[in-house]
Amino acid sequence: MGNSLSLSLSPSLLYLFSHIIFSHLAKDIAADNLKRFINGEAKYLVSTNLLSRGLDFVNVRHIIQFEFASNKIEHLHRIGR
C-alpha cells in the first residue's frame, strides 16, 4: 500500500504532505520526517500501517484512514487507545 499511496498523490498534495512514511522510503528520510512531526515542524504526517504499532504521539487531534482496517485490533492500533 505504501507505494500506491505515494504514487496516487498529485504533486501538489505531495508538497502539502511532504512528511510521508512508508516501508520503501529510506530509513534516514523516514526518521527525519517522523522527528519533524514530533517536534511540531510538520503539521501533517501520512503513513501506512508502518506507524500503527508501538509509537505514541501526543497532541494528535485527528487520524484519517485512507482505507478501513481489516479487523478490530488493527483499528485500535491505528487510532490509539
Tens-digit pLDDT profile for residues 13-63: 555 555 777 777 788 888 888 888 888 888 888 887 777 777 788 888 887
Query: What's the pLDDT band for 2 if we cut at 50, 70, 90?
Result: very low
- Report the domain count for the chain: 1
Which residues are CB-contacts of 74 (< 8 A; sequence separation ≥ 6)? Answer: 49, 52
Neighbour-count burial of 37, counting CB atoms closer than 10 A to its CB (0-12 exposed, 13-18 middle, 19+ buried): buried
Query: What's the pLDDT band for 11 if we cut at 50, 70, 90?
Result: low
Predicted TM-score (pTM) of the model is 0.64
Segment holding 12, helix H or strand E: helix 11-16
41 is in which domain, residue-wise?
2-79
Query: What's the pLDDT band for 1 if we cut at 50, 70, 90?
Result: very low
Residue 10 CA, distance from chain mean position: 17
